[in-house]
Amino acid sequence: MAGLHKSEVTNPVLNWIDQRLPIVTMLQKEYGVFPTPRNFNYFWNFGALAMVTLMGMIVTGIFLAMNYQPNANLAFDSVQHIMRDVEYGWLIRYVHQNGASMFFIVTYIHIYRGLYYGSYKAPRELLWILGVVILLLMMATAFMGYVLPWGQMSYWGATVITNLFSAFPVVGKYIVTLLWGGFSVDQPTLNRFFALHYLLPFVLVGVIFLHIAALHIVGSNNPLGIDPKGPQDTLPFHPYYTVKDSVGICVFLMVWAAFVFFAPNFLGDPNNFIEANPLQTPADIVPEWYFLPYYAILRSVPNKLLGVCLMFGSLLVLLVLPWLDTSRVRSCRFRPTYKWLLWLWVLSFIVLGVCGAHKPEGVWVVLSRLATLYYFAHFLVITPILGKLERPLPLPESITQAVTGRPLENH
């Protein structure tokens, strides 16, 4: 019971620490020798990429907060102060601004990988649910962060999104007033959004810790979607996957840097270079690109409450996905029909994104309705039914056999 942890660390200082607080042993177990399927492809980089992005966002965010003023009269100018007068301020700000987009790019790919290889299926349901919670937290954080520069898009984005809650009967308008701390988006709103934008990333770190803890209980899925049958099917996480992740991180940082240094405002909106004006709404208000698909779902139905419910539903449906999928196999490699329908779902998501950038008129209404229909039908109808009807391709006997073409040696 009581007593020191039996540490195998040889370095005497580390050993002394490890006996009393076995962090070295823990790191060694979870990131050193942790058995990881040997057949990951580069899609398995994206969890690490998301982690790197989060770290980058938190660090740059802390330094931005040192110069930012969460005050409706000063916020816009304080961002310009950061861009113009603070040493390396423009660099830190552009890294943070584009980091938000990078975060969503890698997270969307990470989620798509989970969908394609069936990583949400038993026994990884809770791991997946924690991932959906992470996505929701990310969205809340990104939305509130976008309000802080207090440009026209910040202001009107905040107005439109908070007004979503007014769709709920009876309580709706009280919720909105509560969110605003007033009768319109104003100083109190900005101030609390800043406080929450600073807080939520650390909540995110906590949920990510749980996400990884859950991962390390059930172990990683892999492109074949079959469980490792023994040590021959796995590799220690270090050095094999630390180095493989490092390759991905270098390439990813190049992409991020390309945006920061050569097209820092490519993903932004010109209207946000105009200070917030509560008396004038810009001609086209659109959310940031990563929210466009949900925005299109919102507008695809003419009923306010239904639109809001569909929009939230499009995310919440992911929570029950592990129980909607009735297929015996995980990986789409062995699901000849579902594979293409999943690609169709991706297409519907992209079409929704394009629709979200356009005024809801003419062909865009029709397209966004079709895409919304498929988005939900895919999860609620196709996934449960096809899982029963589809005949999967034969699964390989083991990971090693699939990778090397040799049958298992110790059988």
Partner 1 sequence: MRAPRIFLAAIAAAGLFALPASVRAADDHAPAHAPIKIPEQKWSFDGIFGTPDLASAQRGFQVYSEVCSACHSMRQLHYRDLTGIGFTPEQVKAIASNFTVPQGTDDAGAPKEGPATPANMFRSPFPNDKAARAANNGALPPDLSLIVNAREGEANYIYGLLTGYAEPPAGFKMQAGMSYNKMFEGHQIAMPKPLNDGQIAYIDGTPTSVDQMARDVTTFLTWAANPEMAERKAMGVRVILFLGLLAGVTYAVKRKIWADVH
Partner 2 sequence: MADSSASTAHGHPADGNKRDTLELIAGAGAAIFAGSIGWALVGSMNPSKDVLALSSVDVDLKPILPGQGITVMWQGKPIFIRHRTAAEIAEARNVKPSELNDVQLDKARVKPGHDQWIVLVGICTHLGCIPLGNKTTDMRGEYNGWFCPCHGSQYDTSGRIRKGPAPTNLPVPPYAFESDTRIKIG
What is the binding site for partner 2 (CB under 8 A)?
A: 32, 59-60, 63, 66-67, 81, 84-89, 91-92, 236, 238-240, 242-243, 246, 249-250, 253
**Min separation Cβ 250 and partner 2, Å:** 8
**Min separation Cβ 53 and partner 2, Å:** 13
C-beta closer to partner 1: residue 95 or 147: 95
**Min separation Cβ 216 and partner 2, Å:** 19
- Which parts of 181-291 fold into alpha helices (H)? 187-218, 237-262
Q: Are 322 and 120 in contact (CB under 8 A)?
A: yes
**Min separation Cβ 134 and partner 2, Å:** 22
Contacts of 119-122 spanning 24+ positions with Cβ under 8 A? 119/221, 119/330, 120/321, 120/322, 120/325, 121/225, 121/322, 121/325, 121/327, 121/330, 122/322
The torsion angles phi and psi of 406, rounded to 5 degrees, stand at -95, 145
Q: Which does 280 bind (CB under 5 to 8 A by kind): partner 1, partner 2, none?
A: none
Q: Which does 32 bind (CB under 5 to 8 A by kind): partner 1, partner 2, none?
A: partner 2
C-beta closer to partner 2: residue 174 or 261: 261
Q: Are 106 and 51 in contact (CB under 8 A)?
A: no
Of these residues, 7, 78, 101, 220, which one is catalytic? 220
Q: Are 129 and 136 in contact (CB under 8 A)?
A: no
Q: Is 358 an annotated catalytic residue? A: no
Of these residues, 81, 125, 186, 216, which one is catalytic? 216
Where do contacts with partner 1 occur on this chain (CB under 8 A)? 38, 41-43, 45, 77, 80, 83-84, 90-91, 94, 105, 108-109, 235, 239-240, 243-244, 246-248, 250-251, 253-255, 257-258, 260-262, 264-267, 270-271, 273-274, 283-284, 289, 292, 350, 353-354, 357-359, 361-362, 403-404
Dist CA 1 CA 310 (whole Å):
53
Q: Which does 60 bind (CB under 5 to 8 A by kind): partner 2, partner 1, none?
A: partner 2
C-beta closer to partner 2: residue 4 or 27: 27
Q: Are 182 and 189 in contact (CB under 8 A)?
A: yes
C-beta closer to partner 2: residue 96 or 333: 96
Q: Is 220 an annotated catalytic residue? A: yes
Of these residues, 96, 121, 211, 244, which one is catalytic? 244
> What would the two tokens of residue 255 be?
């992409």
Q: Is 245 an annotated catalytic residue? A: yes
C-beta closer to partner 1: residue 181 or 282: 282
Q: Which does 248 bind (CB under 5 to 8 A by kind): partner 2, partner 1, none?
A: partner 1
Q: Which does 67 bind (CB under 5 to 8 A by kind): partner 1, partner 2, none?
A: partner 2
> What would the two tokens of residue 37 be?
């399927």
Q: Which does 369 bind (CB under 5 to 8 A by kind): partner 2, partner 1, none?
A: none
Of these residues, 233, 275, 288, 325, which one is catalytic? 288
Q: Are 228 and 32 in contact (CB under 8 A)?
A: no
Q: Are 136 and 282 in contact (CB under 8 A)?
A: no
Of these residues, 110, 166, 211, 245, which one is catalytic? 245
**Min separation Cβ 351 and partner 2, Å:** 37
| Surface-to-core class of residue 224, CB atoms within 10 Å of its CB (0-12 exposed, 13-18 middle, 19+ buried) | buried
- Which parts of 219-335 fold into alpha helices (H)? 237-262, 292-300, 304-324
Dist CA 81 CA 71 (whole Å):
14
Dist CA 179 CA 204 (whole Å):
21
C-beta closer to partner 2: residue 136 or 249: 249
Q: Which does 254 bind (CB under 5 to 8 A by kind): partner 1, partner 2, none?
A: partner 1
**Min separation Cβ 203 and partner 1, Å:** 26
C-beta closer to partner 1: residue 202 or 262: 262
Q: Is 216 an annotated catalytic residue? A: yes
Q: Which does 59 bind (CB under 5 to 8 A by kind): partner 1, partner 2, none?
A: partner 2
What per-residue string of b and e applies to 148-162 under the rule 16 or more CB within 10 Å gives b?
Answer: bbbbbbbbbbbbebb
Q: In sequence order, what DSSP letters do the residues of 244-261 get, joined into one string?
A: HHHHHHHHHHHHHHHHHH
Angle among Cα 205, 211, 217 to the nearest 5 degrees reads 140
Q: Please choose, from the candidates 350, 354, 359, 373, the residue with its C-alpha nearest in 3D space to the C-alpha of residue 299.
A: 359
Catalytic residue ranges: 216, 220, 244-245, 288
